[in-house]
């Protein structure tokens, strides 16, 4: 390798070392090598090598505003689903020469606001938002300033931003169809409070519609999942209720599935006997009891699609293109928890 000087080499030093001008070196690293003579290219190449030169992205970002940074807001970094999507986002960014600046908001609107400010202060060139709170005002303003923006799995009021996510209606239909076919007649839908989180709302709404349309009995329990006792009582009541139709739980996301599984285990319910179907496929769903039936989301694809939207925005003019919705389909992974 190279022997680095105490401070990192600058473009000027490389220029001197190569007997060229800053401009030429800049062109060399800015992807305009073609415009330089073979000979100059060689000199710059070796000079840079010798000095261990790397363009300073900060300085780069300063001039034209090309920070080559994409910002992402993640509601809960410890949620495997979010991470999987983020992985897709990151891959796609890398492939396009962008880096990803990720901020976790822990579902806290305050942090969301703060991080949003932070990201913009780094002059990110695009924003992928997956957050529960609603700094709609700020986002609105950003979009109007021409910031490419894509919402992950969540609509945004009247803002002209792309939305990428699951086709929630179809997903719920899929789930309900499966549960019905398997013979479950009374359903309990488990979700975190749906305020502010549009996919939760969409799923909940479709649940109610779908249950009615199929002539099933259905109700929803939408409390914070952290309170295990409340959840357990709700599930217990549901299972103990008089009636003969087989009962099943439908979980709105991975966290709900986890909480429900715990509760069922504590209650001593047998999976399958009591149906259980969760949205989001997790590592362990195949391992618990007879396996938990899930609806898998194409996480990587969702992440990649988000970046594609961003790039499309960047390229084809400013906010002239109408905002779009990209919906992905969930796929059912049937397991023992919905087999009676």
Identity of the residue, 52 or 194, whose beta carbon is nearer to a second copy in the bound complex: 52
- Helix axis angle for 38-51 and 11-18, nearest 10°, is 120
Dihedral sign from CA coordinates of 112, 117, 118, 123: positive
Residue from 41, 73, 75, 90 in contact with a second copy (CB under 8 A): 90
Q: Is 61 in the site for a second copy (CB under 8 A)?
A: yes
Q: Is 196 in the site for a second copy (CB under 8 A)?
A: no
Q: Is 152 in the site for a second copy (CB under 8 A)?
A: no
# chain residues binding a second copy, by CB under 8 A: 51
Stretch that binds a second copy, among 11-19, 33-41, 112-120, 331-339 (CB under 8 A): 112-120
26 binds, among DNA, a second copy, none (CB under 5 to 8 A by kind): DNA
39 binds, among DNA, a second copy, none (CB under 5 to 8 A by kind): DNA
Judged by CB under 8 A, the chain residues 118 through 137 that form the site for a second copy are: 118, 120-123, 137
Closest approach, Cβ 115 to DNA, in A, equals 18
Stretch that binds a second copy, among 150-158, 173-181, 278-286, 309-317 (CB under 8 A): 278-286
Give me the residues that bind DNA (CB under 7 A), please. Answer: 7, 10-12, 19-24, 26-27, 29-30, 34-37, 39-40, 53-56, 59-60, 62-64, 66
Footprint on this chain of a second copy (rule: CB under 8 A): 1, 4, 6-8, 52, 54-59, 61-62, 67, 77-78, 80, 83-84, 86-87, 90, 99-104, 117-118, 120-123, 137-138, 141, 144-146, 258, 261-262, 265, 282-284, 286-288
């Amino acid at each position: 390798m190279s022997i680095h000087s105490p401070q990192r080499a600058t473009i000027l030093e490389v220029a001197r070392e190569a007997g060229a001008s800053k401009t030429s070196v800049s062109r060399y690293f800015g992807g305009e090598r073609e415009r330089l003579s073979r000979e100059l290219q060689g000199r710059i190449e070796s000079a840079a090598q010798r000095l261990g030169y790397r363009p300073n992205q900060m300085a780069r970002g300063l001039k034209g505003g090309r920070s080559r940074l994409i910002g992402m807001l993640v509601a809960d970094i410890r949620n495997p689903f979010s991470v999987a999507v983020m992985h897709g986002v990151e891959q796609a960014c890398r492939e396009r020469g962008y880096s990803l600046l990720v901020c976790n908001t822990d579902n806290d609107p305050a942090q969301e606001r703060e991080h949003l400010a932070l990201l913009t202060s780094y002059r990110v060139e695009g924003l992928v938002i997956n957050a529960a709170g609603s700094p709609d005002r700020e986002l609105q303003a950003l979009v109007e300033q021409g910031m490419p923006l894509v919402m992950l799995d969540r609509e945004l009021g009247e803002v002209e931003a792309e939305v990428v996510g699951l086709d929630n209606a179809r997903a719920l239909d899929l789930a309900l169809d499966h549960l019905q076919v398997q013979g479950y007649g009374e359903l309990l839908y488990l979700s975190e409070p749906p305020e502010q989180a549009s996919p939760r709302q969409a799923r909940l709404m479709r649940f109610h519609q779908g249950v009615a349309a199929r002539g099933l009995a259905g109700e929803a329990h939408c409390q914070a999942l952290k309170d295990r006792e409340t959840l357990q009582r709700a599930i217990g009541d549901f299972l103990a209720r008089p009636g003969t139709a087989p009962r099943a739980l439908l979980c709105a996301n991975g966290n709900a599935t986890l909480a429900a599984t715990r509760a069922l285990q504590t209650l001593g319910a047998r999976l399958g006997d009591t149906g259980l179907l969760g949205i989001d496929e997790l590592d362990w769903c195949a391992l618990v009891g007879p396996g938990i039936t899930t609806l898998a989301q194409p996480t990587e694809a969702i992440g990649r699609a988000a970046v594609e939207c961003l790039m499309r925005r960047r390229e084809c003019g400013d906010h002239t293109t109408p905002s779009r919705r990209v919906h992905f389909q969930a796929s059912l992974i049937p397991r023992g928890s919905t087999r009676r």
